[in-house]
Amino acid sequence: MTWRAAVLAAAVLAAGAILSFRPIYEPDLWWHLAQGRETAEGRLVRTNVFSFTHPDYRQHFTPWLYDVGLYGAWQAFGPAGIQLVQAGCLSLTFWLLFAAGRIRAPAWSVAAALLIGFVILEPRAIPRPHLVSFAGMAACVLLVERAAAARSAAPLRAAIPLVALWSNLHVECVFGVLLLGVFSLSEHLRPASLPRAEARRALAWTCLAALATLANPYGWGLWAYLYENAAVPQLMAIAELRPPYLPEYRAFYAYAGICAILLLSQWRSLTAWETAVAVIFAVLGARYLRLTPLLLLATAPMVAARLARLADRGVDRRAVLITAACAAFVLSRVPPRLLVTELAAGREAVEPPQFFSPAAIAFIEGAELEGPVFNSHNLGGYLAWTMYPRVRIFQDSRLQAYPPEHFRAIIAASREQALWEALTADVGWAVLSVPRPNQLSGHGRFAEPEWRTVYRDGAIEVVIRRRTGSTSNLQPPTSKELPTSNFQRTSTSDVQRIPSVEPPERLDVGS
């Protein structure tokens, strides 16, 4: 290994580690682990098995292979295994982007583009299957760059097995196909990088890659899931399905502006496919904050090539690198010093006590509470992971796992106590989030004299129904008094905010 290769390896590994070994808040992580456990034991999840309200509701698509891998990492390395998976995905993404950029730009200009790219990826650096899609998109960009450089469609053949594998890991494989399609169609209409005959071959490979999205146990379910996900904002305002907001996503807007300026200022070298790719993925990122990384992933080689041409015109490359580093410093959502001083690994990083409580789970087990439970939506996956099948949940944070009327009923009931009492008539206990009150949390609706708090810490409150005439399938234990030795009165003011957490008033529902 040459010293340059060693430096590159160290840089991409460090970038992946810095974005991964830190405190996180990710409610969906627990559902992915629970599903991975089910699949690893031979029970591929096709319905909402963790729910008692809609156990037979179909699950069109789930990232089953990612979930199995995540579960395997937890089994092998514990909570730190989750961080290792995340660091591996991010490091691979940076390496693939660097390789794609180097096809038509020097290392220094690619590094300058990725310095800003680092702070664009940071808000989305959470352990969800979209991490695999980062690497998948970067791989597709690499294939496109190789095809353009070789003036041949041949490199795009590799997209077919890539997308087939990717379709079992995350639904965003469709964006890889979109990238290939935009490149191929643009080259067919206005050839610049490929002869028209090669562009037709590229379109053929793209069509086969699109068919490869069906190479998963759910088949067309992937597309049905994507359609349902696009309809979610009509139901409620979900943080990651809203436009990126300032100041948290300023890096995205700054990068979009830089990209536009560089491409338009060098318009003579701008191809139709570059224009279409930049516009389409900029629009997607501006529409949905969860898609903001796609603009970087799709355009980093273009930006690197234009930065290199600035040096050809007399701009000092060191000035470009220093400017990019300063821009990354200013645009970072998290104070840069915290990225290197607040590193964390293991259980307290992955299962932050501010939001999740092993002590509360131990209390539930000790109190012998089981069966149907009302839960705050951000705790559904956590209970599924720690308590299923002994406990069946009321809801979790996946809107596609329930019919829309389920969440509409919860929101309506959150405004009127009589509706709330009817909604929760069949449960005898509830597990509520202390630091995340919202319309789906049950906050303020489980009050005396109907309900009694039997446990509370800084993260979780457990309440039970007092009356004995409940129609619930689960009655609070009557043979013995519920233990209260673990009952702690912890003020919510003691809860400290983790940098990666969305504002509390936004519902962050993932895939």
324 in the same domain as 360: no
Tell me, yes or no, whether 50 lies in a domain: no
Q: Percentage of the chain surpassing pLDDT 90? A: 73
Q: Is residue 109 part of a domain?
A: yes
Q: What amino acid occupies position 37?
A: R
Q: Taking 70 as the threshold, does the pLDDT of residue 183 lie above it?
A: yes
* pLDDT for 414 beyond 90: no
> Does the pLDDT of residue 241 top 80, yes or no?
no
What pLDDT, on the 0 to 100 scale, is given for residue 20? Answer: 96
Higher-scoring residue by pLDDT: 94, 240? 94
Report the Cα 95 to chain-centroid distance in Å.
20
Q: Which two tokens stand for residue 325?
A: 């580093």
Residue 216 vs residue 469, higher pLDDT: 216
Q: For residues 197 and 191, what is the distance between their CA atoms, to the nearest angstrom?
A: 10
**Whether 218 and 120 share a structural domain:** yes
pLDDT tens, 486-503? 333 333 323 333 333 333
Indicate whether 470 pLDDT > 50: no
* pLDDT tops 70 at residue 17: yes
Distance CA 445, CA 465 (A): 12
User: Do 332 and 415 share a domain, yes or no?
Assistant: no
In this prediction, residue 400 carries a pLDDT of 79
Highest mean pLDDT pick, 107-111, 230-234, 336-340: 107-111
Please enumerate in sequence order all residues whose Cβ is within 8 A of that of 26, keeping only pairs 6 or more positions apart, or say none.
Answer: 126, 127, 128, 350, 510
pLDDT value at 504 more than 70: no
371 and 293 within one domain: no
Same domain for 128 and 176? yes
Residue 240 has pLDDT above 80, yes or no: no
* Confidence category of residue 395, pLDDT binned at 50, 70, 90: very high
Q: What is the pLDDT of residues 123-170, one digit of tens each?
A: 999 999 999 999 999 999 999 999 999 999 999 999 999 999 999 999
Look at residue 27 in the predicted model and tell me its pLDDT: 93
Say how many residues make up the chain: 511
Q: How far is the C-alpha of 426 from the C-alpha of 448, rounded, in Å? A: 18
Q: Could you tell me the pTM of the whole model?
A: 0.89
Domain end residue (candidates: 284, 316, 341): 341
> Among 341, 363, 397, which residue terminates a domain?
341
Tokens of 378: 């951000």
Co-location of 138 and 232 in the same domain: yes
What six digits make up the tokens of 484? 């209260």
Question: Other C-beta atoms within 10 Å of 341: how many?
Answer: 8
Mean predicted confidence (pLDDT) in 191-208? 96
Which pLDDT score is estimated for 506? 33
Whether 383 is covered by a domain: the verdict is yes
Please return the burial class of 79, using the count of CB atoms within 10 Å of its CB with bins 0-12, 13-18 and 19+: middle
The structural domain count of the chain equals 2
Report how far residue 410's alpha carbon sits from residue 282's, in angstroms, rounded to the nearest whole number. Answer: 35
324 and 374 inside one domain: no
Q: Give domain status of residue 333, yes or no.
A: yes
Q: Do 186 and 277 share a domain, yes or no? A: yes
Q: What are the phi and psi torsion angles at 92 (to 5°)?
A: -60, -40
Decide: residue 281, CB within 10 A, 0-12 exposed, 13-18 middle, 19+ buried.
Answer: buried
Q: How far apart are CA 385 and CA 424, in angstroms?
A: 23
H or E stretch covering 503: none
Q: What is the 3-state secondary structure (H, E, C) of 410-469?
A: HHHHCCCHHHHHHHCCCCCEEEEECCCCCCCCCCCCCCCCCEEEEEECCCEEEEEECCCC
Mean pLDDT of the chain: 88
Q: What is the mean pLDDT of residues 451-468?
A: 90
Domain with 361, as residue range(s), is 355-494
Over 70: is that where the pLDDT of 510 sits? no
Question: Do 389 and 317 lie in a common domain?
Answer: no
Backbone angles phi, psi at 216, to 5 degrees: -145, 165
Q: How far apart are the C-alpha atoms of 355 and 507, rounded to whole Å?
A: 15
- Indicate whether 67 belongs to any domain: no
ω into 389 cis (within 30 of 0): yes
- The Cα-based distances of 122 to 12, 115, 126, 252, 287 in angstroms read 14, 11, 8, 11, 18
Give the strand pairing for 429-433 and 451-456: unpaired
Alpha-carbon distance 410 to 454, whole Å? 24
Mind listing the pLDDT tens digit for each residue in 352-374? 999 999 999 999 999 999 999 99
Same domain for 262 and 183? yes
61: burial class by Cβ within 10 Å (0-12, 13-18, 19+)? buried
* Cross-strand pairs, 391: 371
3-state helix, strand and coil shares in percent for the chain, rounded to the nearest 5 = 60, 5, 35
How far apart are the C-alpha atoms of 53 and 392, rounded to whole Å? Answer: 9
The C-alpha torsion from 366 through 372 and 377 to 382, rounded to 10°, is 40
Please, are residues 401 and 45 in contact by the beta-carbon 8 Å criterion?
no
Give the position of tokens 């909604």: 423
- Among 4-8, 57-61, 415-419, the range scoring the smallest mean pLDDT is 4-8
Structural domain includes residue 505:
no
**Whether the predicted pLDDT of 179 surpasses 70:** yes
Q: Are residues 393 and 462 in the same domain?
A: yes
Instruction: Mark whether 251 and 133 lie in a shared domain.
Output: yes
Burial of residue 440, with CB atoms counted within 10 A of its CB: 0-12 exposed, 13-18 middle, 19 or more buried: buried
- For residues 387-397, give the mean pLDDT: 93
Q: 374 near 445, Cβ under 8 Å?
A: no
The answer to whether the beta carbons of residues 256 and 282 sit under 8 Å apart is yes
Q: How far apart are CA 487 and CA 456, in angstroms?
A: 6
CA-only gyration radius of the chain, Å: 25
Query: What is the Cα–Cα distance from 29 to 349, expressed in whole angstroms?
Result: 13
- Amino acid 482: pLDDT: 43
Which residue, 310, 341, 372, sits at the end of a domain? 341
Q: Report yes or no on 84 lying in a domain.
A: no
467 pLDDT band (50/70/90 cuts)? low
Q: What is the pLDDT at residue 237?
A: 60
Residue 38 counted as domain residue: no
